[in-house]
Structure 1
Amino acid sequence: MPGSDIAEAQRVVLGELPALPHLPELPARGPGADMIGRTGGLLVELPVELYAARWRVAPRPGKDLRRARDLMERDLDQLAEQAEEYAGPLKIQAVGPFTLASSVELPIGGRMLRDPGAVRDLAGSLAEGLRGHVEAVARRVPRASVLLQLDEPGLPAVLAGRVPTESGLGTYRAVEQVDVRALLGTVIEAAGVPTVVHCCAPDVPLELIRTAGAAGIALDLSLVTDLDSLGEALDAGLGLLAGAAPTTPPATTAPAGAARTSSPTSPATDRGPTSAQVADRVRTLWDRLGFPRRRLAEQVVVTPACGLAGATPAYARAVLTACRDAGRRLFED
């Protein structure tokens, strides 16, 4: 979410998404609130620190790790204050083991991805940390049913050997599917709650994610090209968080020689898509897959295409509203 006020962000989420709220992430607050630092703060016996604006494994816990953990603790306190009586599914997010391994560096240099042993250690540390995180959320909101989202935008690149080395002159060796499935499965099993894997990239390995134990997949619908694979995964029972609403408004272009009619922060650009437009995108995809409409509302949740941190607060709220109302439209079909 945009901004740096966790109390306001949590109010917006609980107000606009009363049936499936989440714990917001606010990367605008700086290091430790970014997705890598935030998840780094959850790791057990694997401290991280910032070095030259990058996260790396540290010899001992330091101020960067304390800041990440303090921010998370404040966020959980705010969640407890505002959602104490909430009953229903509640989503939390963390970076998955392979996107994390592609982002965090070893003390000697190079990303953790270069060392299979380091990746295994990272997955084990993350598994233990997420188990504790889920328990902490459940204690604060005892009537909620926790749903975990693992963000893995880097997973297709890891599998294809497309993660660049620091020099940019080469790439790291591809990780075998069997190893990815095993470590991802370890993390999912340890969390002990239904887990959705989010991947806003092309070539999402749907079957791998399903067989690793995920309950659902979160996708950007604009990047879906292989309908057969998606249909097979859905037919096997995988839930779909359908990213159908753009995370930023379309650019307004003026005719040549004319002045722009709106600025990036004007009310015109803060207006999100309508719920009918969002619902139509999901319905069209579902019909192309050939599934009966009655299954749509049972298996699909309507979401933004990805995170909303780059949007204005007004646009972010408008998108959440559109997704909520689109879901209601699809339920009533």
Structure 2
Amino acid sequence: MTTEPTPVPSATGPGPMPGTDPREAARVVMGECHALPFLPELADRGPGADAIGRTLALLADLPADVSPRGWRLADSPGRLARRAVDHLDRDADALEEADELARDPEHAPAPDRRRLQVGIVGPWTLAARVELPGGMPVLSDRGARRDLAASLSEGAGGFAARLAERVGAGARILLDEPALWQVAAGTVHSPSRLDPIPPVAADQLALSLCRFGDALRRAGVAEVLLRVPTASVPGAPPVWSVVAAPPRGETPLDGACLPAAPLYSADSHAALDAAGTLLGDGRLLQLEGLPASGAGIPRTPADAERAAARVLALLDRLGAPPHTRLPAVVLTPTPGDMESASGAASALRAARLVADTAPRMAE
């Protein structure tokens, strides 16, 4: 009688990487995360390579430019916006080239099982951080933020699907929403004290994110994850129903990416409950940050065993049996672990080592 192989969690990177050379970054990604690669984000190249500029470069038929305060929508793309598009094209070409060099045709995963993860700034944070031509945030205008979300879903979804096809994978988009809790609390800064930006109800946020995910899937994306902080600035607490409780009748996002440290230390019971709900619903849980081992990230088999044991203990705390829920777990380092070229490679290697060790520890 044959036995079923123990399910294996995935390992990938958070997105941001050090340096300015897209070919070197892509080489590291494909060398360490070939089963679940990600498109590197090289912000060290300056304006246009930052998270907002990079995401604006993906908009469909909605030009952007810069203002004295940051990025804004415009009648025509400015110089930095054109630079952002050029950076993105170079990154995509470098990733495809690195994939061709690293690919082993005899052991390559099937496209329906492999994923390419592309991170973008989510529609609510983008609306909070980008200005209208008059200077107010896009968030202040309901029609403008609808147009921004529609343009982003079309442009980002199509880009991710095309790039994923080039590397023989399905597309996974990670929506980074660091300002989501401020949007919910009504604490997004307005340039005018006489015209504050009102809060957006949690049920409206959840509904819009579900429908944004639907639009991305129509554009060819296989999976959509939401990245949110487990804590926020004072006056803007997390609203976990947005993550864990999709509106009735709506297709939920495929999972969430959460900072792992508060979950391992059980500092946030609300975040733990949300993570448990995600896994219980059969959705993905991306844990950003490996369990510490001694002085830093796991580097030896013994370190990896100790880290894997903490991952399994977390699953037990969440009521998620490892033999059925390990495939729904994705392990990544934090962006802080990736601050140097050598550190990035070591951190990605550590995530893969822990992911490979966890199934054996679960037996």
TM-score, with length taken from structure 2:
0.78
Answering whether residue 224 of structure 2 is matched by residue 195 of structure 1, we say yes
The match for 2:45 is: 29
Q: Secondary structure at the match of 2:131?
A: coil
Q: Deviations over 1:229-249 (max 9, x none)?
A: 322232111210112328xx9
Q: Secondary structure at the match of 1:68?
A: helix
The match for 2:234 is: none
Kept after mapping to 1: 8 A contact 2:305/2:358 = no
Specify which of 147, 172, 176 is matched with residue 197 of structure 2.
172
Show structure 2 runs of 5+ residues with no match.
1-16, 232-237
Answering whether residue 240 of structure 2 is matched by residue 215 of structure 1, we say no
1:112 is displaced (CA, Å) by 1.0
Amino acid paired to 1:219? L
Q: Secondary structure at the match of 1:213?
A: coil
The match for 1:80 is: 96
Q: Secondary structure at the match of 1:106?
A: coil
1:286 is displaced (CA, Å) by 1.4
The match for 1:328 is: 356
Show structure 1 runs of 5+ residues with no match.
251-267
Specify which of 102, 110, 122 is matched with residue 148 of structure 2.
122
1:208 is displaced (CA, Å) by 4.5
> What is the rounded CA distance, in whole Å, between the counterparts of 2:204 and 2:251 in structure 1?
10
Kept after mapping to 2: 8 A contact 1:279/1:326 = yes
Kept after mapping to 2: 8 A contact 1:98/1:154 = yes
Q: Secondary structure at the match of 2:132?
A: coil
- Tell me the matched-pair count: 311
Q: CA 1:7 to 1:279, structure 2 compared with 1: closer, same or farther past 3 Å?
A: same
The match for 1:206 is: 243
Mean Cα deviation higher: 145-154 or 132-141: 132-141
Q: CA 1:200 to 1:178, structure 2 compared with 1: closer, same or farther past 3 Å?
A: closer
Q: CA 1:101 to 1:209, structure 2 compared with 1: closer, same or farther past 3 Å?
A: farther
Answering whether residue 352 of structure 2 is matched by residue 313 of structure 1, we say no
> What is the rounded CA distance, in whole Å, between the counterparts of 1:296 and 1:302 in structure 2?
13
The match for 1:149 is: 174
Q: Secondary structure at the match of 2:289?
A: strand
Kept after mapping to 2: 8 A contact 1:159/1:176 = yes
1:120 is displaced (CA, Å) by 0.8
Specify which of 184, 196, 219 is matched with residue 209 of structure 2.
184
> What is the rounded CA distance, in whole Å, between the counterparts of 2:342 and 2:164 in structure 1?
30
Percent of matched pairs sharing the same residue:
38
Q: Deviations over 1:5-62 (max 9, x none)?
A: 1111111111111221111111011111111000000111211112225111112122
Higher relative contact order (CA 8 A, sep 6+): 2
> What is the rounded CA distance, in whole Å, between the counterparts of 1:175 and 1:44 in structure 2?
25
The match for 1:4 is: 20
Kept after mapping to 2: 8 A contact 1:123/1:186 = no
The match for 1:109 is: 135
1:139 is displaced (CA, Å) by 4.3
Q: Secondary structure at the match of 2:172?
A: strand
Q: Secondary structure at the match of 2:35?
A: coil
> What is the rounded CA distance, in whole Å, between the counterparts of 2:33 and 2:304 in structure 1?
14
Mean Cα deviation higher: 35-44 or 165-174: 165-174
Amino acid paired to 1:299? A
1:147 is displaced (CA, Å) by 1.4
The match for 1:258 is: none
> What is the rounded CA distance, in whole Å, between the counterparts of 2:178 and 2:63 in structure 1?
23
Amino acid paired to 2:311? V
> How do 1:92-103 and structure 2 match up within 5 A?
92-103=118-129
TM-score, with length taken from structure 1:
0.85
Q: Secondary structure at the match of 1:150?
A: strand
Q: CA 1:135 to 1:300, structure 2 compared with 1: closer, same or farther past 3 Å?
A: closer
Q: Secondary structure at the match of 1:102?
A: helix
> What is the rounded CA distance, in whole Å, between the counterparts of 2:134 and 2:157 in structure 1?
29
Answering whether residue 73 of structure 2 is matched by residue 54 of structure 1, we say no
> What is the rounded CA distance, in whole Å, between the counterparts of 1:29 and 1:309 in structure 2?
19
Q: Secondary structure at the match of 1:302?
A: strand
Q: After the TM superposition, which parts of structure 1 deviate over 6 Å for at least 4 consecutive aligned residues?
A: 167-170
> What is the rounded CA distance, in whole Å, between the counterparts of 1:277 and 1:170 in structure 2?
53
1:309 is displaced (CA, Å) by 8.1
Answering whether residue 331 of structure 2 is matched by residue 292 of structure 1, we say no
> What is the rounded CA distance, in whole Å, between the counterparts of 1:278 and 1:154 in structure 2?
30
